[in-house]
Amino acid sequence: MVSVEQLANMVDHTNLKAFADDAAFQKLCDEARKYNFKMVAINPAQTERCKEKLAGCPVHVGAAIGFPLGQTTLECKVFETKDAIEKGADEIDYVINIAELKNNNCRRI
């Protein structure tokens, strides 16, 4: 049996809204800290903000690369990933390019 605490630590708390303001990210991080969620999943531009808000807490910061469509080039995604890591991302969620996958072109996904 899984306890409530164990279950909460498997949850990624997410805010990927383009119009979310600082108050929304404060709420996201406060809830993640309060309930001991595993990670906050955010757009890369919010990585530093959330990393600062979660300082001293075990909640990870995860950046969603290529969100929402995955329709950027691999080179863009590599840059976006490196930038997110430099800004404190602990985890990376990577949105693949479905069109390239369907074309069997895995070097461009």
Predicted confidence band of residue 106 (pLDDT cuts 50, 70, 90) = confident
Give me the mean pLDDT over the 100-107 stretch: 92
Whether residue 45 has pLDDT greater than 90: yes
Of residues 8, 16, 65, the one with CA closest to residue 39: 8
Give me the mean pLDDT over the 77-104 stretch: 97
pTM attached to this predicted model:
0.92
* Predicted pLDDT at 38: 97
DSSP character for 46?
G
* Predicted pLDDT at 19: 97
Predicted confidence band of residue 14 (pLDDT cuts 50, 70, 90) = very high
* Predicted pLDDT at 50: 98
Give me the mean pLDDT over the 35-48 stretch: 98
Give me the mean pLDDT over the 43-54 stretch: 98
Whether residue 108 has pLDDT greater than 90: no
Domains of the chain: 4-108 (3.20.20.70)
Q: Could you tell me if 45 and 16 are in contact, meaning their C-beta atoms sit under 8 angstroms apart? A: no
What are the φ/ψ torsions at residue 42 (nearest 5 degrees)?
-140, 170
